[in-house]
C-alpha cells in the first residue's frame, strides 16, 4: 500500500507519540535509579550508583524477589501441566459441554483480579480452612497462568492436526514413543512461550496476590507498593522497578519470538 | 499357515513363514461396518486383496473408501466385522502392531526432522541398528530418486518431492501392504500423471501390495490391477479396469467410471427391444449422417437430432436427442476436418453401435 508523504509523516508522528506515552515514564524510572537527588527533581542533577549498591544489599527486596521467583516458578509449573492437558482434552476429543469447558478455562484471565482475589481469599480461609501462605498465592496465580499455556498449546495443536501422530503410530511407534519423538518436539516452543508468559504474569501480579499472600510474606510488587512512600526506601524502589522492567521484557520478547517462528513454516 | 503371534513387526520374516502366508490374501475384509454415531460410513464390505496386487478403491467423497483404508491401517476400529492381514485377524490391533504402512494425503512428514530422519523413523522406533537403518533409508530414497535431498527439511521440498519422501518413509519398512490415501490429490495434472507412472513402476519393483484410494477414475483405470467401486459405504463392483469400464455392474458404476450414457424406459424398449436400463460408452457409438443405411447384423441403431457439438481438441463430443426419447452422448476422435464435425450441429443423424456395447445395468443409486 502506498500512502502520501504527508500521511506517512502523520502516521509516524502518531506512532511516535503513542510509544512515547508508554515508554517515556519507564525511561524516567530507569534514569531515577541513577539520579543522585533523593527527591527526584527534574531534570536529574547528578549520576550515582549508590541506590543500586544499596538495593543489592537490601534484605527485604531480596527476600521479596525470592518469594516472587518461587511463586512464579511453581505457578508456571502447574500451569504447564494442567494447561497442556486441558488443551489436549479439548482439541483431541469431542464431548458434551466441550465449548463450555473451554470458556471456563479461559475466563479467569478476564475476571477482575479483585474479584478473583476476594473469592479465593474466602474459599481458602473460610471454606477450605487453609492458612494463607506461599501455596495459596501459587494456586491463585495458577488459575490465570493456565490460560496462557492453554491458549499457546491449543493453537499449536490446531495447526498440527492429528495426522503426524497417526503417521508416527503407522510407522510402528507406540503412544509413548510418539509423544517423545513427535508430539513433544512439535509442542516444545509453544510450551516455552506459554511458560515464559505465565511466569511474567505471575511475577508482576499484585491484586490477587494481596488477597492470597500469607502474613509476613512479600512478593516483589507488594514490597514495592509497601516501600514506595517511605522516603528513605524510595530510591531503592526505583532500582527494583528498573530491574523489573528488564526482567519482564526478556521473557515476553522470547515468547514472542518462539510463538512466531519455529513451527510457522513447519506445517507440512 | 503358521500362527504368528509375535507382536513385534519382524523386519524380515523367516522365508518359510512368508511362503506359508502367501496362500492367504494380503488383505481380507469380512462384513466390515463402521458407524460414526447415527451415520454409517461403511456398511458391510467384503473384500479379498491378493498379495502383490495394485488394488484401487474408487468412489466419490463420502463413499466410505477412506474409512475402509483407515480401518485396514488401524486408525479406526470397525463397529463390526473383521480385518485380516495375511490370514491374521488384526481387527482390534493398534496401528503400530500392524504390518502395513500408509502414505497420507497431505504426506504428514515430520516437519522438525530432515528427509533422512523422516525415512529412518520407522526403523528407528523398531530399534534397527543405526548403520543398517541409514543404509536402508538411503536405499529407499534412491528408489524414489531423492538421495541428494537427505539433508533437507520437508518445508524445503516441492509437493512432488514431499510425496516421494512419504512413499520412501513407508516403503523402507517393507510392509506387507502399503496403503495410499489419495496420495496424488495435491499435485498438479502433469506431475500427477508422472507420479502415476512412477508409483506403478515402484510397485512392480518392490512387489508390495498397494491399496490405493482415489476419487479419480482415470487414475484408478490406468494404475490398477483391480478396482473396487464404492458408493454409500458399500462396494458396487470389484473387477479389473476393463471389466469395470466395459461392463459396469450398475448405473452408478457406469456413471462414475466414465460418462453416464443410459437408455431407460420406453426409449430402451424401442431401441434395444427390451425393458431395463442400458449403458453405452460414448466412444463406442458411430455417427452416420446417412439415415437410409440399414443396420447390419449384430448392430443396434437409433435416429435422432444433434443438439450440441463440443470441440475438445483430440475428440469431439456430440449430444444427440433420440427420436425414441432420451439422450445419448457420442465421443468421436477428431480425425476428419474439424469444420465437418461442427457442421453436424442441428442435423439429423443415425447412431450405430455393436449390440454387445449396450448392456443392462442394475438401477442402483
CA distance A66 to A72: 10
A126-135, A136-145, A229-238, B83-92: range with lowest mean pLDDT: A229-238
Predicted local distance difference test score (pLDDT) of residue B17: 45
CA distance A146 to A129: 24
- In which domain, by residue range, is A132 found? 51-263
End-to-end CA distance of chain A: 31
Give the closest residue to B330 by CA, choosing from B340, B343, B315: B315
Judged on CB neighbours under 10 Å (0-12, 13-18, 19+), A264 is: exposed
DSSP for B42-89? EEEEEEEE-TT-EEEEE--TTSSHHHHHHHHHTSS--SEEEEEETTEE
For the question of whether the overall pTM of this predicted structure is more than 0.80, the answer is no
Percent of chain B with pLDDT over 90: 58
CA distance B64 to A89: 27
Q: Is residue A7 part of a domain?
A: no
Q: Does A169 touch chain B (CB under 8 A)?
A: yes
Q: How confident is the model at residue A40 (pLDDT cuts 50, 70, 90)?
A: low
User: To 10 degrees, the CA torsion angle through A143, A144, A149, A151?
Assistant: 120
All residues of chain B having their beta carbon less than 8 Å from the beta carbon of residue A172 are 9, 96, 122, 125-126, 173
A99-113, B86-100, B258-272, B326-340: range with lowest mean pLDDT: B258-272
CA distance B119 to B149: 12
Closest chain A residue to the Cα of B163, Cα to Cα: A268
Q: What is the 3-state secondary structure (H, E, C) of B161-212?
A: HHHHHHHHHHHCCCCCEEEEECCCCCCCHHHHHHHHHHHHHHHHHHCCEEEE
Number of domains in chain A: 1
Q: Which helix (H) or strand (E) holds B270?
A: helix B265-271
For residue range B189-225, list pLDDT tens digits in order: 888 888 888 889 889 988 899 999 999 998 999 999 9
Predicted local distance difference test score (pLDDT) of residue A2: 76
For residue range B77-127, list pLDDT tens digits in order: 999 999 999 999 999 999 999 999 999 988 999 998 999 999 999 999 999
Q: Where in chain B is the domain with CATH 2.40.50.100?
A: 259-361
All residues of chain B having their beta carbon less than 8 Å from the beta carbon of residue A268 are 106-111, 154-155, 162
In this structure, are residues A181 and A93 in contact, taking their beta carbons and an 8 Å threshold? Answer: no
Q: Does A174 touch chain B (CB under 8 A)?
A: yes
Nearest-neighbour CA in chain A from B243: distance (Å)? 33
Other Cβ atoms within 10 Å of B73 Cβ, number: 22
Predicted local distance difference test score (pLDDT) of residue A224: 86
The three-class DSSP label of residue B298 is: coil
What is the ipTM, given to two decimal places?
Answer: 0.79
User: CATH code at A210?
Assistant: 1.10.3720.10
pLDDT average, residue stretch A65-82? 94
Residue A187 has pLDDT above 60, yes or no: yes
All residues of chain A having their beta carbon less than 8 Å from the beta carbon of residue B169 are 171
Q: Is residue A151 part of a domain?
A: yes
Mean pLDDT of chain A: 86
For residue range B139-149, list pLDDT tens digits in order: 999 988 888 99
- Among the partner-chain residues B104, B122, B126, the one whose CB lies closest to the CB of A163 is B104
For residue range B347-362, list pLDDT tens digits in order: 899 999 998 888 888 8
Q: Which helix (H) or strand (E) holds A51?
A: helix A50-56
A16-25, A52-61, A149-158, B309-318: range with lowest mean pLDDT: A52-61
Percent of chain B with pLDDT over 70: 93
- Among the partner-chain residues A169, A263, A265, the one whose CB lies closest to the CB of B95 is A169
Judged on CB neighbours under 10 Å (0-12, 13-18, 19+), B295 is: middle
Q: Is residue A73 part of a domain?
A: yes
Distance of CA B291 to the CA centre of its chain: 41
Q: Does A166 touch chain B (CB under 8 A)?
A: yes
Predicted local distance difference test score (pLDDT) of residue A172: 92
Other Cβ atoms within 10 Å of B301 Cβ, number: 17
Q: Is residue A197 part of a domain?
A: yes
CA distance A238 to A40: 10
Residue A110 has pLDDT above 90, yes or no: no
Predicted local distance difference test score (pLDDT) of residue A267: 35
- Taking an 8 Å cut-off on Cβ atoms, the answer to whether B104 and A167 are in contact is yes
Predicted local distance difference test score (pLDDT) of residue A36: 78
Q: Tell me if the domain spanning B259-361 has CATH number 3.30.9.10.
A: no
Give the closest residue to B287 by CA, choosing from B341, B334, B357, B352: B352
Residue B19 has pLDDT above 70, yes or no: no
CA distance B242 to B226: 9
For residue range A48-68, list pLDDT tens digits in order: 888 888 888 888 888 988 999
Q: Which helix (H) or strand (E) holds A6?
A: helix A5-32
Give me the architecture of the B15-253 domain, per CATH.
3-Layer(aba) Sandwich (3.40)
Task: Report DSSP state, residue B30.
Answer: E
Q: Where in chain B is the domain with CATH 3.40.50.300?
A: 15-253
Q: Which helix (H) or strand (E) holds A64?
A: helix A59-92
Predicted local distance difference test score (pLDDT) of residue A1: 65
For residue range B62-73, list pLDDT tens digits in order: 899 999 999 999
All residues of chain A having their beta carbon less than 8 Å from the beta carbon of residue B74 are 169-170
Predicted local distance difference test score (pLDDT) of residue B364: 59
Amino acid at each position: 500500500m502506498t500512502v502520501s508523504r504527508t500521511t506517512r509523516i502523520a502516521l509516524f508522528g502518531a506512532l511516535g507519540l503513542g510509544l512515547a506515552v508508554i515508554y517515556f515514564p519507564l525511561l524516567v524510572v530507569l534514569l531515577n535509579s541513577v539520579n543522585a537527588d533523593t527527591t527526584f527533581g527534574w531534570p536529574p542533577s547528578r549520576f550515582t550508583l549508590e541506590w543500586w549498591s544499596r538495593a543489592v544489599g537490601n534484605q527485604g527486596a531480596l527476600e521479596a524477589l525470592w518469594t516472587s521467583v518461587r511463586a512464579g516458578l511453581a505457578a508456571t509449573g502447574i500451569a504447564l501441566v494442567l494447561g497442556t492437558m486441558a488443551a489436549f482434552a479439548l482439541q483431541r476429543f469431542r464431548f458434551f459441554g466441550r465449548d463450555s469447558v473451554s470458556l471456563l478455562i479461559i475466563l479467569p484471565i478476564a475476571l477482575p483480579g479483585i474479584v478473583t482475589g476476594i473469592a479465593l481469599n474466602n474459599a481458602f480461609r473460610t471454606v477450605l480452612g487453609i492458612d494463607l501462605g506461599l501455596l495459596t498465592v501459587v494456586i491463585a496465580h495458577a488459575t490465570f497462568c493456565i490460560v496462557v499455556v492453554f491458549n499457546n498449546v491449543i493453537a499449536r495443536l490446531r495447526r498440527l492436526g492429528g495426522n503426524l501422530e497417526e503417521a508416527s503410530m503407522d510407522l510402528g511407534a507406540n503412544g509413548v514413543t510418539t509423544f517423545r519423538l513427535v508430539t513433544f518436539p512439535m509442542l516444545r516452543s509453544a510450551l516455552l512461550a506459554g511458560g515464559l508468559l505465565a511466569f511474567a504474569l505471575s511475577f508482576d501480579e499484585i491484586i490477587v496476590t494481596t488477597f492470597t499472600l500469607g502474613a509476613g510474606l512479600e512478593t516483589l510488587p507488594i514490597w514495592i507498593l509497601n516501600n514506595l512512600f517511605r522516603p528513605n526506601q524510595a530510591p531503592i524502589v526505583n532500582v527494583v522497578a528498573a530491574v523489573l522492567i528488564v526482567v519482564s521484557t526478556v521473557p515476553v520478547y522470547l515468547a514472542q519470538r518462539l510463538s512466531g517462528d519455529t513451527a510457522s513454516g513447519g506445517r507440512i | 499357515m503358521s500362527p504368528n503371534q509375535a507382536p513385534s513387526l519382524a523386519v524380515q520374516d523367516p522365508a518359510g513363514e512368508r511362503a506359508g502366508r502367501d496362500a492367504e490374501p494380503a488383505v481380507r475384509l469380512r462384513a466390515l461396518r463402521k458407524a460414526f454415531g447415527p451415520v454409517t460410513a461403511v456398511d458391510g464390505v467384503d473384500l479379498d486383496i491378493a498379495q502383490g496386487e495394485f488394488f484401487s478403491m474408487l468412489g466419490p467423497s463420502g463413499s466410505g473408501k477412506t474409512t475402509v483404508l483407515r480401518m485396514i491401517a488401524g486408525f479406526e476400529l470397525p463397529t463390526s466385522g473383521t480385518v485380516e492381514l495375511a490370514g491374521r485377524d488384526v481387527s482390534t490391533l493398534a496401528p503400530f502392531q500392524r504390518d502395513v504402512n500408509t502414505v497420507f494425503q497431505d504426506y504428514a512428514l515430520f516437519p522438525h526432522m530432515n528427509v533422512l530422519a523422516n525415512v529412518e523413523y520407522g526403523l528407528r522406533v523398531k530399534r534397527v541398528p543405526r548403520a543398517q537403518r541409514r543404509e536402508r533409508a538411503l536405499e529407499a530414497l534412491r528408489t524414489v530418486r531423492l538421495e541428494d535431498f537427505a539433508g533437507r527439511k520437508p518445508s524445503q521440498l516441492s509437493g512432488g518431492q514431499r510425496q516421494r519422501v512419504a512413499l520412501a518413509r513407508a516403503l523402507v519398512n517393507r510392509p506387507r501392504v502399503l496403503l495410499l490415501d489419495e496420495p496424488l490429490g495435491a499435485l498438479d495434472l502433469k506431475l500427477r500423471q508422472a507420479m502415476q507412472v512412477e508409483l506403478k513402476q515402484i510397485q512392480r519393483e518392490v512387489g508390495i501390495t498397494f491399496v490405493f484410494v482415489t476419487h479419480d477414475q482415470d487414475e484408478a483405470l490406468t494404475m490398477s490391477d483391480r478396482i473396487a467401486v464404492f458408493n454409500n459405504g458399500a462396494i458396487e463392483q470389484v473387477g479389473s479396469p476393463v471389466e469395470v469400464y466395459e461392463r459396469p455392474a450398475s448405473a452408478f458404476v457406469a456413471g462414475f467410471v466414465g460418462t453416464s450414457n443410459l437408455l431407460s424406459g420406453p426409449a430402451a424398449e424401442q431401441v434395444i427391444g427390451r425393458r431395463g436400463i442400458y449403458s453405452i460408452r460414448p466412444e463406442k457409438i458411430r455417427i452416420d449422417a446417412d439415415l437410409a443405411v440399414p443396420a447390419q447384423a449384430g448392430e443396434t441403431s437409433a435416429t435422432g437430432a444433434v443438439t450440441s457439438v463440443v470441440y475438445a481438441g483430440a475428440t469431439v463430443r456430440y449430444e444427440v436427442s433420440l427420436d425414441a426419447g432420451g439422450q445419448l452422448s457420442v465421443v468421436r476422435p477428431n480425425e476428419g476436418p474439424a469444420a465437418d464435425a461442427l457442421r453436424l450441429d442441428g442435423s439429423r443423424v443415425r447412431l450405430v453401435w455393436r449390440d454387445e456395447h449396450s448392456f443392462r445395468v442394475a438401477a442402483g443409486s
